[in-house]
Amino acid sequence: MASIARRTTLSLLAGTALVIAAPVAAFEPERTECIAPANPGGGWDFTCRQVGKTLQDLDLIPGTMQVTNLSGGGGGVAFAQVVNKRNDDDNLVVAASTATATRLAQGAYPGNSMDQVRWLGTIGADYGVIAVAADSEYDDLPSLLDAMQEDPTSISVGGGSAVGGWDHLKVLIAAQESGIEDVRSVKYIAFPGGGEAVTQLLAGSLQAFSGDLSEAKGFVDSGDIKVLAVLSPERLEGEFSEFPTATEQGIEAIGANWRGFYAPGEMSDDAYNWWVDQLDTMYDTEEWKAVMETNGLAPLDLHGEEFEAFVNDSISQIETLSKEIGLIN
């Protein structure tokens, strides 16, 4: 739980007088806020709202967490806002994911780097999916990729990350594994969030959607889309076991999107430790395990310094991959 309050005792002996300073209270926020760096309906929005609700239900935060949607630049607008205007806000957290690490790895947040913020922890991993509209002519991943190889301009794939972002990279990895040599010919259209991308898929403006399982689940449940492949090493369990993996269809594409939070770079140590503890406590509850199971999140439990090291490694790996595919020099 919250870090033990620092207690300073000041003793002054003046005759028989003994003065003891009052203890310094541990950090306790009066309010909490989560920035989702995209419009409602996407993965970052899901992260803020589901975590905020669970923290509230478990009495781990005071009252209701305010969710602020701040889209733009694949998360860059939110990152710049935090660094430049709210860098010492102890009450603020920001939803992050592999998409955040991807943009940082590619230098897509101009003038910004991972060490300008503090990395709090993960709340699970969200496997990528490639999906189409329910009435699409494509029933499996190879048939979609074959059409893409025959005429790359005939297949528009949309996702909630910017061009070169994680949703884009997942498609390129699958395309590369299927034998498409010039993956830069693959037509990808970026949207502010996964929700907008699925809306355009259903409107017929796109032929496929690249996103994460948590983004797609509601549309699968409503019968609007069908998942061609989950980018996991093997089939997921429970209600997600019906979805085939790319691997079992002969496409060795795996894409796990971690989900978590960063905080302002000048957040106090007391506040940082408090947020890390609250997220760590929430992750271990049955309530959060139920949320993970319902939304297809895989286990990933990293907090504090361990998470920071993980993000650093992720950025290095994605930078290497981006160079191999030709997205950056």
Shared-domain flag, residues 121 and 138 = no
pLDDT at 164: 86
User: Which of 221, 249, 277 corresponds to the end of one domain?
Assistant: 249
**Separation of alpha carbons 107 and 5, rounded Å:** 39
Q: Pinpoint the alpha helices (H) of the chain.
A: 43-57, 76-85, 98-105, 141-150, 166-177, 194-203, 213-221, 269-283, 286-295, 305-325
Shared-domain flag, residues 100 and 118 = yes
Q: Is the pLDDT of residue 185 over 60?
A: yes
- 3 state SS of 175: helix
* Banded model confidence at residue 1, pLDDT cuts 50, 70, 90: very low
CB contact at 8 A, 194 and 159: yes
Looking at residues 294-302, what average pLDDT do you find?
Answer: 90
pLDDT at 12: 23
- Split into its structural domains, the chain has a count of 2
Looking at residues 94-114, what average pLDDT do you find?
Answer: 94
Shared-domain flag, residues 44 and 116 = yes
pLDDT at 274: 97
Looking at residues 214-241, what average pLDDT do you find?
Answer: 91
Q: Is the pLDDT of residue 18 over 60?
A: no
pTM (2 d.p.): 0.77
Looking at residues 132-147, what average pLDDT do you find?
Answer: 97
pLDDT at 137: 97
pLDDT, mean over the chain: 89
Shared-domain flag, residues 138 and 210 = yes
Shared-domain flag, residues 41 and 87 = yes
Q: Is the pLDDT of residue 218 over 70?
A: yes
Shared-domain flag, residues 157 and 235 = yes
Shared-domain flag, residues 93 and 182 = no
pLDDT at 6: 29
**Residue 272 tokens, joined:** 């940082």
| Total residues found in the chain within this entry | 329
Q: How far is CA 162 from CA 38, 55, 109, 190, 213, in A?
A: 11, 30, 11, 5, 18
Looking at residues 71-75, what average pLDDT do you find?
Answer: 91
User: Which of 249, 281, 301 corresponds to the end of one domain?
Assistant: 249
CB contact at 8 A, 161 and 102: yes
Q: What is the CATH number of the domain that holds 174?
A: 3.40.190.10
* Banded model confidence at residue 10, pLDDT cuts 50, 70, 90: very low
Contacts of 245 (CB under 8 A, 6+ apart): 229, 230, 231, 232, 233, 234, 235
Looking at residues 206-228, what average pLDDT do you find?
Answer: 93
Q: Is the pLDDT of residue 16 over 60?
A: no
Looking at residues 76-87, what average pLDDT do you find?
Answer: 97
pLDDT at 67: 98
Q: Is the pLDDT of residue 237 over 90?
A: no
What does DSSP say about strands 117-133 and 208-212: parallel, antiparallel, or unpaired?
antiparallel
One-character DSSP codes across 232-301: SSSPPSGGGTTSPBSGGGT-----EEEEEEEEETT--HHHHHHHHHHHHHHHTSHHHHHHHHHHTEEP--
Looking at residues 222-229, what average pLDDT do you find?
Answer: 96
Q: Is residue 46 part of a domain?
A: yes
Q: Is the pLDDT of residue 259 over 90?
A: yes
Shared-domain flag, residues 216 and 163 = yes
pLDDT at 13: 24
**Separation of alpha carbons 307 and 123, rounded Å:** 11
Q: Is the pLDDT of residue 2 over 80?
A: no
CB contact at 8 A, 87 and 155: no
Query: Over pLDDT 70: what percentage of the chain?
Result: 92
| 19/26: higher pLDDT | 26
pLDDT at 22: 36
Radius of gyration of the chain (CA): 22
User: Which of 227, 249, 271 corresponds to the end of one domain?
Assistant: 249
> Residue 83 is part of which domain span?
33-126+256-325
pLDDT at 14: 29
- 3 state SS of 125: strand
Q: What is the CATH number of the domain that holds 95?
A: 3.40.190.150
Looking at residues 178-190, what average pLDDT do you find?
Answer: 91
Query: Over pLDDT 90: what percentage of the chain?
Result: 71
CB contact at 8 A, 104 and 73: no
Shared-domain flag, residues 299 and 158 = no
